[in-house]
């Protein structure tokens, strides 16, 4: 499948039924378009099975709760809808996007309690998020934007509005020839990339930021579990900017990124070392098992 995302053949699940791809539309006065009242999940289906699908559906509902936007579907109904969409399109390997949002209704302002919460589930066939970076390591810029305090946003929600500075950061990075950007948090600690969590290696141990101001990714949690099963020490902690110079290896994790090695962040370089390659290979085996 190729071409603009609004001009393709296929089926998209919307509000309880499958509709033709080009008919999956919303009104211009949809609340989410004006006020970012939207949450979503990104998932991958491997060999006909969505990896950690139930956990993603649970997080979608939690994100809705955090935005005071109760989603009118159960985990079981969301799972059924995802697989119905995949079957209708004939896909066994695909990216899955579930998005819940406040639609058009009686309210058109900051308050939107009377507007319906809608749910749509789409998908597409998608390869490696960072292209050939899995072999040589992705090149990252350092963003000027910082992840905000959890006192200002619901940082544990996968909410559309929280990605605005991520889009701006990634555009700036791409203009410099980079694949992505690393972001610091509001305190100046290392946080994450624009859509992926980050890990570092030093002296055989792994270091990764505490998810106290960032999303605790499902892939992040999976990889931490894999590392600990291998007997590798994982330090979840606050990481200072000055420490970047001393790390030997680095990788990103996320549904889209999977496990992607990082070769450079700003002026700092990292090797695509054995541990990075091993965890990327082990993750690939796990999701396809």
pLDDT tens digits, one per residue of 58-110: 999 999 999 999 999 999 999 999 999 999 999 999 999 999 999 999 999 99
Do the domain assignments include residue 149?
yes
**pLDDT level of residue 132 (50, 70, 90 thresholds):** low
Q: Are β-strands 138-147 and 258-265 bridged in parallel, bridged antiparallel, or unpaired?
A: parallel
Say what the pLDDT of residue 3 is.
84
Contacts of 143 (CB under 8 A, 6+ apart): 165, 169, 172, 173, 181, 182, 183, 184, 194
Q: Are β-strands 38-46 and 17-20 bridged in parallel, bridged antiparallel, or unpaired?
A: unpaired
140 and 280, same domain (yes or no): yes
Q: CA geometry: angle at 258 spanning 262 and 9, to 5°?
A: 125
CA distance 93 to 47: 6
Residue range 216-266, pLDDT digits in tens? 999 999 999 999 999 999 999 999 999 999 999 999 999 999 999 999 999
27 and 91, same domain (yes or no): yes
The mean pLDDT value for 132-151 works out to 90
120 and 138, same domain (yes or no): no
Q: What is the 8-class DSSP label of residue 159? A: B
The mean pLDDT value for 115-127 works out to 94
Active site (annotated) includes residue 87? no
Do the domain assignments include residue 52?
yes
Do the domain assignments include residue 60?
yes
Say what the pLDDT of residue 131 is.
67
Q: Which of 52, 134, 139, 158 is catalytic?
A: 158
230 and 279, same domain (yes or no): yes
186 and 109, same domain (yes or no): no
CA distance 168 to 181: 10
Domain boundary among 77, 103, 124: 124
Decide: 181 and 141 in contact? Cβ < 8 Å. Answer: yes
What is the span of the domain harbouring residue 189? 133-153+163-287
Q: What is the 8-class DSSP label of residue 149? A: P
The per-residue pLDDT of the chain, averaged, comes to 96
Whether the per-residue pLDDT at 1 is higher than 70: the answer is no
CA-nearest of 41, 48, 56 to 94 is 48
Element holding 207 (H helix, E strand): strand 205-209
Structural domain count of the chain:
2
**pLDDT level of residue 133 (50, 70, 90 thresholds):** low
């Amino acid at each position: 499948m190729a071409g603009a995302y609004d001009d393709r053949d296929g089926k998209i699940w919307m509000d309880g039924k499958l509709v033709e791809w080009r008919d999956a539309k919303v009104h211009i006065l949809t609340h989410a378009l004006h006020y970012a009242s939207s949450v979503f999940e990104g998932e991958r289906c491997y060999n006909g099975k969505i990896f950690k699908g139930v956990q993603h559906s649970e997080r979608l509902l939690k994100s809705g709760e955090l935005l005071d936007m109760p989603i009118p579907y159960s985990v079981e109904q969301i799972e059924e809808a995802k697989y119905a969409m995949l079957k209708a399109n004939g896909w066994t390997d695909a990216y899955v996007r579930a998005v819940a949002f406040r639609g058009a209704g009686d309210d058109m302002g900051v308050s939107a309690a009377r507007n319906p919460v809608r749910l749509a589930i789409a998908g597409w066939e998608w390869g490696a998020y960072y292209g050939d970076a899995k072999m040589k390591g992705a090149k990252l810029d350092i963003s000027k934007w910082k992840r905000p305090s959890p006192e200002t946003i619901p940082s544990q929600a996968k909410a559309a509005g929280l990605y605005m500075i991520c889009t701006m950061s990634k555009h700036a990075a791409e203009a410099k020839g980079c694949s992505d950007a690393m972001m610091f948090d509001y305190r100046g600690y290392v946080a994450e990339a624009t859509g992926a969590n980050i890990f570092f290696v030093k002296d055989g141990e792994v270091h990764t930021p505490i998810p106290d101001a960032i999303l605790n990714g499902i892939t992040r949690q999976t990889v931490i579990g894999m590392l600990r099963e291998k007997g590798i020490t994982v330090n979840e902690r606050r990481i200072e900017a000055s420490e970047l110079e001393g790390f030997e290896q680095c990788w990103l994790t996320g549904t889209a990124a999977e496990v992607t090695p990082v070769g450079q962040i700003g002026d700092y370089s990292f090797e695509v070392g054995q541990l990075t390659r091993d965890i990327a290979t082990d993750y690939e085996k796990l999701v396809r098992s």
